[in-house]
Amino acid sequence: MSSKPTVGYIGLGIMGKSIARNILGAGFPLIVHNRSRRAVDELVAEGAKAASSSAEVASQVDVVFTSLPDSPDVELVALGSGGIIEGAHPGLIFVDNSTIKPATARWIAEKLAEKGVLSLDCPVSGGDIGAQKGTLAIMVGGPAEALEKIMPIFNVIGKTITHVGDAGAGQIAKAANQVMVAAQMVAMGELMILAKKAGADPQKVVAAIQGGAAQCWTLDVKPERLFAGNRQPGFKAYMQAKDLGIVMDTARQYGVPMPSAAVHTQLFAAMLQMGMAKLDNSAVIGVIESLADVSLLDE
């Protein structure tokens, strides 16, 4: 593979579009495909080329990325009619940035291998900000030789790249990541509303604890937006809920009790039922507000 392989990117949502833009900005020839045209047009205006199907992308590139909502979407794009498998060629590397079930990642890797394709399941963490800045944490499952070949691409989209293990291992790492993310989002909401209802200034409480044992990415990044009344994504609540579904499915499969993750799964499910599905995952504070009958922004 040359120093500048041709890259394909399929799925240009909040995360995918920023990742693709960073790849393009680093000088890699880029071919893109997306269900809606607007994001495609944006990247074409910046120098990318458009393709009309996933198969068309795969047939023209050395590396094809996907960033899609859920396991069935990735399976359809990878293996379905007009999918990557129809444009597959020996030496192609498939990289999935989606968060899906580990079993699905393994199945896709197995089927694409029959066409001479190496697959990497590479979910990411760091949110929309990390995607824009190219500072994502990338969790990699799949063959080390494939990762080695595409490291120059990963180095422009991520800051931390960890080869976790064989196919599916990246998705197991992401499930673990989402256990912690959900816990932090819920805990942040609880502590803010506790402070508010108990009569302390939540902003000062957050400032007081940020430098101690409670310090974490969530407290570093999210409070400023919440105190400004901004609950827009970011990372959408329905995607967090979907990821927690993967966590609980995987936990059941392997017989792992996860009592706190189960409660957090219910809180995010409640959030969706309360009409907050498309808000940021930090907006789970809205469920706590409702239960406590107090608003963070009440005077």
Asked if 179 and 286 sit in the same domain, the reply is yes
Domain end, chosen from 124, 144, 167, is at 167
Neighbours of 36 (CB within 10 A): 9
The rounded distance, in Å, linking the Cα atoms of 14 and 69 is: 11
User: Distances in Å between the alpha carbon of 72 and those of 10, 77, 80, 111, 255?
Assistant: 15, 9, 10, 15, 24
Any domain includes 15: yes
Does a structural domain hold residue 56?
A: yes
Q: Which residues of the chain have pLDDT under 70?
A: 1-2
The answer on 201 and 157 residing in a single domain is no
Are 96 and 125 in the same domain?
A: yes
Whether 132 contacts 18, CB under 8 Å = yes
> Which CATH number fits the domain that encloses residue 286?
1.10.1040.10
Residue 93 lies in domain: 7-167
pLDDT at 207: 98
Strand, coil or helix: 277: coil
- Both 241 and 97 in one domain: the answer is no
Q: 37: exposed, middle or buried (C-beta count within 10 Å: 0-12, 13-18, 19+)?
A: exposed
Residue with tokens 């967090």: 240
Q: Are 127 and 99 in contact (CB under 8 A)?
A: no
Residues 105 and 51 in one domain: yes
Indicate which residues carry an active-site annotation.
174
User: 297 lies in a domain?
Assistant: no
Same domain assignment for residues 108 and 199: no
Q: 156 and 21 in one domain?
A: yes
Domain boundary among 141, 167, 193: 167
Number of structural domains in the chain: 2
Whether residues 227 and 114 share a domain: the answer is: no
pLDDT in tens, 196-218: 999 999 999 999 999 999 999 99
Nearest to 69 by CA among 231, 246, 232: 246
- Which pLDDT does position 299 carry in this prediction? 80
Please report, for the domain that includes residue 159, its CATH number: 3.40.50.720
The domain boundary, picked from 167, 190, 222, lies at 167
Grouping H, G, I as helix, E, B as strand and the rest as coil, residue 288 is: helix
- The pLDDT assigned to 1 comes to 47
285 in a structural domain = yes
- Does residue 131 share a domain with residue 18? yes
Closest CA to 179 of 94, 243, 104, 113: 243
Residue 2 in domain? no
Within a domain: 93: yes
Contact 105, 167 (CB under 8 A): yes
Nearest to residue 235, comparing CAs of 283, 269, 274? 283
Q: What is the pTM of this model?
A: 0.94
Are the C-beta atoms of 116 and 86 separated by less than 8 Å? no
**Tell me, what's the pLDDT at 171?**
98
Query: What single-letter DSSP state applies at residue 17?
Result: H
Specify if 181 maps to a domain. Answer: yes
Q: Does residue 191 form part of some domain?
A: yes
